[in-house]
Homo-oligomer: A and B are copies of this chain.
Amino acid sequence: MPRNAAEPSNWRTYLVTQESVSNGRSTLEIVREAIAGGIDVVQLREKETDARWRHELGLELRELTAEAGVDLIVNDRVDIAEAIDADGVHVGQSDLPVAVARDLLGPEAIVGCSAATVEQAHEAEAAGADYLGVGTIYGTTSKDVAEYKDGVGPERVAEIADAVSIPVVGIGGITAENAGPVVEAGAVGVSVISEITAAPDPRAATESLAEAVETAKGVGDGEGTE
């Protein structure tokens, strides 16, 4: 299934699509801008929309992402992932189990799983997940780095990254301003909806996010900030 040996360990910036927060712009337009800004992977999510619409959008996203060498993942629906030849799926704790998705998609596809606890992370890894989406990191959308009320916080990323050997992506309330601690805690990258989708300039927002991740990686590797 994978078009170009998609590899989660290379994901720095991960866009989850949701047209409803795009201020009237289409998801295609947002994804085009994110690609121009260097996004590494796009997840077709669009919760609250029907499968017919998501399938049509997915075919267009596949074309865009394939041209750009960007990975494409489908949230929840293994059938849509198969139908649009996505690189894989991302399942949550109430979606099809990781092992079922793996069985349907085969060994080459990427199967990602949401994990909020170390136990869920262990279970997903044992079932064959290729990466974990850990969160919600920041429970608020506050720009204040120190504030993550109702979120699991970067500390949970550190716990989970220590506990498993597959890549971890932080998710939930992440911005260019607060991405650093998530990456320093051990995430390979960060996943966002609003930070890119609701931004006045989604391309610039993607670039800023990528820069924040790279800067934090420098810190994490002990090479100092760039």
Contact = CB atoms under 8 A, between A and B. Distances in A.
Interface stretch (A62-70, A78-86, A130-138): A78-86
Q: At the interface, is chain A mostly helix, strand, loop or mixed? A: helix
| Residue in A78, A79, A104 whose Cβ sees the most chain B Cβ within 10 Å | A79
A94 B50 contact: yes
Contacts of A94: 50-53
Interface string A75-97: 01111101100000000011111
Contact of A96 (B76, B80, B97, B103): B80
A77 B89 CA distance: 15
A50 B51 CA distance: 15
A100 interface: yes
A42 B180 CA distance: 52
Contacts of A83: 96, 100, 103-104
Interface in A3-53: 50-53
B53 A96 contact: no
A83 B96 CA distance: 9
A122 interface: no
Nearest to A52: B94
A51 B104 contact: no
B104 A55 contact: no
Contacts of A101: 79
A214 to B, nearest CB: 36
Contacts of A104: 79, 82-83
Nearest to A59: B100
Contacts of A103: 83
A28 to B, nearest CB: 20
Contacts of A53: 94
Contacts of A55: 96-97, 100
Contacts of A95: 50-52
Interface of A: 50-53, 55, 76-80, 82-83, 93-97, 100-101, 103-104
